[in-house]
Amino acid sequence: MASIGKSIETASDFLKKAQLVAIPTETVYGLAANALDSTAVAGVFEAKNRPVFDPLIVHTHSVLKAHDYVKSIPEPLLKLANAFWPGPLTLLLEKKALVPDLVTSGLDRVAIRVPNHALTLELLRSIDFPLAAPSANPFGYVSPTTPEHVNKQLGDKVAYILDGGPCEVGIESTIIGKEENEVCVYRLGGLAIEEIEKIVGKVNLKINSSSNPAAPGQLKSHYAPMKQLILGDVKENLKLYKNAAVIYFGEKNFESAHADYNLSPTKNLKEAAANLFSALRMMDESKADVILCELLPEEGLGRAINDRLKRASVK
* # chain residues binding Mg ion, by CB under 5 A: 1
How many CB atoms lie under 10 A from the CB of residue 240?
Answer: 10
Residue 50 or 95: the one with the smaller Cβ distance to Mg ion is 50
Q: How far is the CB of 179 from Mg ion (least distance, A)?
A: 23
Q: Which residues bind ligand TXA (CB under 6 A)?
A: 25, 27-28, 30, 54-57, 90, 92, 104, 107, 109-111, 115, 133-135, 172-173, 175, 214-217
Nearer residue to Mg ion within complex by CB, 119 or 171: 171
- In whole angstroms, the minimum distance from the beta carbon of 36 to ligand TXA comes to 16
Nearer to Mg ion, 27 or 264 (CB): 27
Q: What DSSP assignment string belongs to 139-189?
A: TTBPPP-SHHHHHHHHTTT-SEEE---S-SS-SPPEEEEEETTEEEEEE--
Among ligand TXA, Mg ion, none, partner that 87 touches (CB below 5 to 8 angstroms by kind): none
Our CA dihedral for 56, 59, 65, 68, rounded to 10 degrees, sits at -20
Query: If contact means CB under 5 to 8 A according to the sort of partner, which of ligand TXA, Mg ion, none does residue 41 touch?
Result: none
Nearer to ligand TXA, 271 or 294 (CB): 271
Comparison of 76 and 164: residue with beta carbon closer to Mg ion: 164
Question: CA-based Rg of the chain, rounded to a whole angstrom?
Answer: 19
| Residue 135 engages Mg ion in binding (rule: CB under 5 A) | yes
In angstroms, give the least distance from the CB of 292 to ligand TXA: 26
Give the CB-nearest residue to ligand TXA: 217
Preceding omega of 100 cis (within 30 degrees of 0): no
Which of ligand TXA, Mg ion, none has residue 237 at its interface (CB below 5 to 8 Å by kind)?
none
Contact partner at residue 28 from Mg ion, ligand TXA, none, CB < 5 to 8 Å by partner kind: ligand TXA
Q: Of 57 and 203, which CB lies nearer to Mg ion in the complex structure? A: 57
Site string for Mg ion, 114-133 (x = CB under 5 A): --------------------
- Specify the residue, 257 or 304, whose C-beta has the smaller distance to ligand TXA: 304
Q: How far is the CB of 197 from ligand TXA (least distance, A)?
A: 20
The CA–CA distances, whole Å, from 101 to 36, 54, 104, 109, 191 equal: 10, 12, 5, 10, 28
By the 8 A CB rule, do 40 and 196 touch? no
Sheet holding 259-262, edge to edge: 228-231, 290-293, 244-248, 259-262
DSSP of 9-38, one letter per residue? HHHHHHHHTT--EEE--SSS-EEEEETT-H
CA–CA distance, 59 with 32 (Å, rounded to integer): 9
Judged by DSSP in three states, 109 sits in strand
Half-sphere exposure of residue 80: CA atoms within 13 angstroms, side-chain side: 34
Point out which residues bind Mg ion (CB under 5 A). 135
